[in-house]
Structure 1
Amino acid sequence: MTITPSQRSAFAARTFAALRHRNYRLWFFGQMVSLFGSWMQTTAQGFLVFQLTGSPAYLGYVGFAAGIPAWALTLYGGVVADRMPRRTLLIITQTAQMALAFALAALVFSGIVQPWHIVALSFLLGIANAFDAPARLAFVRELVDKEDLTNGIALNATMFNLATTTGPAMAGVTYTLVGPAWCFMLNGISFLAVIGALWRMRMAPQPVAPRSASAWRDLREGLSYILHEPVVRTLIALVGATSCFGISFATLFPAWAVRILGGDAATTGLLQSARGLGALLGALLIASLGRFQFKGRLLTVGTFAFPTLLIVLTFTTWLPLTLVLLTASGLAVILIMNLANALVQTLTPDALRGRVMAVYSMVFFGMMPIGALWIGVIAERAGEPTAVISGALVVLGVAALIRLAVPQIRKLT
């Protein structure tokens, strides 16, 4: 069957609908450059920690330190995101993250870096993320029309995973050729792209929720909404379980590359890139569907496919097959995360979006360090494959429970 030019044009317009909005275009390309640098740092930092300590458990400690502020501060970050212009808040948080990247680069360049330095800087980065994440998630709605929200979220994931595909591979090469410090330096420089994009935006006035007597009262309002909306509550719980028991397997990539696959820093980069490639394909798939009406069914497919692929992954030591399975798992997990995000934002009133997305962020990012901690400890004691299988079985059980107890999830459009 021949595809006509008009059909190709319609497909492109549907897939990249959010890019019609000028502010979103600035955000998309600025954030993509920044994320490229962030993934270079994430990959290089993990391998540096493993080189310094030789311990998969210490990889978990670093992840845990980064996530502590998510539990302590993200909910308050959501209140702040509803009380002040989100663009202003994002400029502040992105600048703070840039400064931390330069600090880590300086420590490594000087030759004095110690594992505890990385733990401390990860903790400070977690504080910045606690305020950045809810504002960033809610900010998309200010950049596109409501009809293009799902597409905008999908394209957000596209840029994130395009960076995930290329950033780790480049980090592996850079680490091998000139050392980890340049990975951290390039990350710091990359933040200039998103900060510049935020400054250039022309924002329409946004309604700001009226301030109550206390932040706690604002927070309770958001929590009450979630507790009384079973579908929203279930979607957030699904994201938390996937983050803690599924996505946490990526913490072990440096150890997996060395101990299971007999590789090095470049192998670690390939593992991250394969996962990112799959997520990129998944995000493009969602974007290409346009304003489709079967989000719940596609989400359900992802909840079962992702843990199944992780279990299969543990039975191979051949790098090419490992990369194929990681690509497939990346596609499956993006179906969960993107569609859950889009559905929660669609169901949430505008005035509560910052606070609800703060809870979403806290659960997503807050469960990561717990997942990193437990999977690192289990891997240390029972081996990496056992740790990954254990988490995958939990995610599979949660998927089955939701399928039985909350069947209306499948009907969401």
Structure 2
Amino acid sequence: MPSSVSASAPTPPSPATLWTPLTYSVFRAIWIASVVSNIGTWMQNVAGVWLVTTLTTSALLVALMQTATSLPAFMLSLPAGAMGDLVDRRKLLLCTQGFMGVVAFVLGILTLLGQVSALGVLGFTFLLGIGAALNAPIWQTVTTELVPRPVLGFAITLNGVSNNIARALGPAIGGIIIAHYSPGYVFLLNGISFVGTLLVVYRWKRNAETSSGPTENFMGALRTGIRYVQYSPAIYAVLFRTFGFAFGASAMWALLSVVTARRLHLQSGSYGVLLSWLGAGAITGAFLMGRAGHRLNFNQRVLLGSCVFVGTNVGLALAPNEYWLFPVMFLSGIAWLMTMTSFSTTVQLHVPKWVQARVVSIYMLVFQAGLSIGSIVWGELADRLGLQQALLGAASWMAVSLALAIPFPMRSAEGLDLTPAENWPAPTIEGDVDPDHGPVMVTIEYQVPLADQPAFRQAIARLSRLRLRDGALNAGVFADLASPTSITEFFYVATWGEHERQHHRFTREDLLVEAEVQRFHTGPEPPQVRHFLSFPKTTNVELPTPVESLEGPR
């Protein structure tokens, strides 16, 4: 497995605080660079929309600016995650930051020369969106390499603070430059911000990665990431909760400007002030979490954040004037940061490094889907039923979504050891096996007394889930009809190379599940493991077959 910077970092002070991640020099440098880069991005957003507004009378083209920014995330989030796990992350960051810097500089120069059209701005915005979509999952997972696990939650919180500082400062700075000079200068400044990040990442001396088994191909890596989420209850619980929260919270982002302009009859300046209160709340939330965050677990934080957003949507629907909305937006900012960092931290703490970027990309895709679909739904309801009814409907959704905590509780990651176990002995084979040959079936034979078999079935079901999560296409158990105490576990994978990768994916945490299964074995020798390659060699089976049961014979 790849080694990380954090592996040689000093032990964090006990207890860690919000400022602890900043004591690690590489994280501190990258965090400062991200603040500058995020400010440039928010400046770019304001300048791009304003420029399109001045270049065309089409409201559709102006609205398409948001599409040009978000569409690449839907298209490229999963491929970006696969790339982040297959290719050196430092090199990918250098490529994405350099690409976005070049695009920003070219757009700035063309704008200053008066050679850009509204469609041209849309095109350049789409290119920047591509860079951001490829960059996002890699940037998030890099944090796990820069700080040790005990302070990772605070590091992710600081990343949220970075974006909210930029949200507060970027539009204001961009607006001033546009008012006195030209949007072209904003684009150039954004390009310079990417250069700063590029230099910081270039100076980061990331430890070289070592190969852990045969290299995965791109499509196989995509399937593996999806399969890992499918068989990881802790992960898909977060995804369900994330979508439910994002869907309801999207009403605030989608309808705040409409509330400001149409219900309260205020100007754009008031809209900016409300966003500033939101950003101030998010920054305050970071300090509160740093001081008292340990008193609430992640599940409780999400529940509290959802309750606050029930009030947010009610406040937007019923507040008589903007002054009532100032505390509403402030509390919403606290709740937003607290909830989103809880989701992100839970995902990253539950995932080993080999699949981390892929899982984070799926999480980001689900989050963006919740925001996008929610915005469409609440906007359509506002047009058909009225603004207040749509906001009250969103508040009702948030209240109902609290019930998701019952079937999908967010599990604690405290104490999890996700480092590779590397304890599986290499199978004894004659000759060489082509890594692309398959499928491969593995069997493990146990001797389990009849009285222990009900408990054994529960334990082996958990182990079978791990086999499926780490690459098996099917898994289960059989009992010998002639000898009922003889139980055989089986699983098969698409290729021999994929099975070799399974050896490196099994973690020390998984050893506990395996040990629970093996304690039921009563034979004189350890459970016997056999490996079977299809005979004659057949075409690789790519798609998993349905698993009817993970519990074994009834």
Q: TM-score surpassing 0.5?
A: yes
Q: Relative to 1, partners in 2 of residues 1:58 and 1:172: Cα closer, same or farther, differing over 3 Å?
A: same
Verify the 8 A CA contact 1:79 1:219 in the aligned structure 2.
yes
Name 2:65's counterpart in structure 1: 62
1:360 partner amino acid: Y
Within the candidate set 123, 128, 141, 2:144 is matched to 141
1:234-245 map, 5 Å: 234-245=237-248
How many residues get paired?
401
Deviation at 1:48, TM superposition (A): 5.1
Name 1:327's counterpart in structure 2: 330
Verify the 8 A CA contact 1:297 1:410 in the aligned structure 2.
no
Q: Relative to 1, partners in 2 of residues 1:293 and 1:90: Cα closer, same or farther, differing over 3 Å?
A: same
1:203-352 map, 5 Å: 203-207=206-210, 210=213, 212-247=215-250, 249-251=252-254, 257-289=260-292, 294-316=297-319, 318-352=321-355
Name 1:200's counterpart in structure 2: 203
Given the alignment of the two structures, is residue 403 of structure 1 paired with residue 405 of structure 2, yes or no? yes
Verify the 8 A CA contact 2:37 2:190 in the aligned structure 1.
yes
Verify the 8 A CA contact 1:314 1:385 in the aligned structure 2.
yes
Verify the 8 A CA contact 1:32 1:163 in the aligned structure 2.
yes
Within the candidate set 152, 158, 162, 1:159 is matched to 162
Question: Which ranges of structure 1 fall in alignment gaps of 5 or more residues?
Answer: 1-9
Structure with more relative contact order (C-alpha pairs < 8 Å, separation 6 or more): 1
- Give the structure with the larger strand fraction: 2
Name 2:446's counterpart in structure 1: none
Distance 1:370 1:105 in 2: 33
Deviation at 1:350, TM superposition (A): 1.8
Name 1:183's counterpart in structure 2: 186
2:277 partner amino acid: A
TM-score normalised by L of structure 1: 0.84
2:410 partner amino acid: I
Find the structure with the greater CA-based Rg: 2
Deviation at 1:60, TM superposition (A): 5.0
Q: Relative to 1, partners in 2 of residues 1:242 and 1:214: Cα closer, same or farther, differing over 3 Å?
A: same
- Give the structure with the larger helix fraction: 1
Distance 1:315 1:112 in 2: 47
Q: Deviations over 1:234-281 (max 9, x none)?
A: 212322343344246435555555444555554443333222222222
Deviation at 1:150, TM superposition (A): 0.7
2:404 partner amino acid: I
Name 1:73's counterpart in structure 2: 76
Within the candidate set 84, 89, 94, 1:86 is matched to 89
Distance 1:315 1:253 in 2: 13
Question: Which ranges of structure 2 fall in alignment gaps of 5 or more residues?
Answer: 1-12, 415-554
Q: Deviations over 1:349-407 (max 9, x none)?
A: 22111111111122223544444555555556666555544444434432x2312323x
Per mean C-alpha deviation after superposition, the further-off stretch among 18-27 and 163-172 is: 163-172
Distance 1:173 1:386 in 2: 37
Given the alignment of the two structures, is residue 99 of structure 1 paired with residue 102 of structure 2, yes or no? yes
Distance 1:259 1:178 in 2: 31
Distance 2:399 2:120 in 1: 37
Name 1:6's counterpart in structure 2: none
Per mean C-alpha deviation after superposition, the further-off stretch among 78-87 and 162-171 is: 162-171
Per mean C-alpha deviation after superposition, the further-off stretch among 109-118 and 63-72 is: 109-118
1:234 partner amino acid: A
Verify the 8 A CA contact 1:31 1:193 in the aligned structure 2.
no
Within the candidate set 365, 368, 374, 1:365 is matched to 368
- Partner of 2:127, secondary structure, is helix
Distance 1:314 1:148 in 2: 39
1:405 partner amino acid: P
Q: Relative to 1, partners in 2 of residues 1:276 and 1:322: Cα closer, same or farther, differing over 3 Å?
A: same
Deviation at 1:161, TM superposition (A): 1.3
Deviation at 1:91, TM superposition (A): 1.6
Identity %: 26
Verify the 8 A CA contact 1:68 1:369 in the aligned structure 2.
no
- Partner of 2:319, secondary structure, is coil
2:81 partner amino acid: G
TM-score normalised by L of structure 2: 0.64
Distance 2:319 2:217 in 1: 54
Deviation at 1:198, TM superposition (A): 0.9
Verify the 8 A CA contact 2:65 2:122 in the aligned structure 1.
yes
Q: Relative to 1, partners in 2 of residues 1:127 and 1:244: Cα closer, same or farther, differing over 3 Å?
A: farther
Deviation at 1:346, TM superposition (A): 0.7
Distance 1:176 1:268 in 2: 18
Given the alignment of the two structures, is residue 174 of structure 1 paired with residue 174 of structure 2, yes or no? no
Q: Deviations over 1:69-105 (max 9, x none)?
A: 2222211111110111212111211222223333443
Given the alignment of the two structures, is residue 33 of structure 1 paired with residue 33 of structure 2, yes or no? no
Verify the 8 A CA contact 2:16 2:151 in the aligned structure 1.
no
Name 1:14's counterpart in structure 2: 17
Q: Relative to 1, partners in 2 of residues 1:296 and 1:358: Cα closer, same or farther, differing over 3 Å?
A: same
Name 1:5's counterpart in structure 2: none
Per mean C-alpha deviation after superposition, the further-off stretch among 95-104 and 341-350 is: 95-104
1:92 partner amino acid: C
Verify the 8 A CA contact 2:18 2:155 in the aligned structure 1.
no
Deviation at 1:305, TM superposition (A): 1.3
Q: Relative to 1, partners in 2 of residues 1:19 and 1:168: Cα closer, same or farther, differing over 3 Å?
A: same
1:120 partner amino acid: G
1:194 partner amino acid: T
1:349 partner amino acid: P
- Partner of 1:242, secondary structure, is helix
Deviation at 1:302, TM superposition (A): 0.8
Deviation at 1:192, TM superposition (A): 2.1
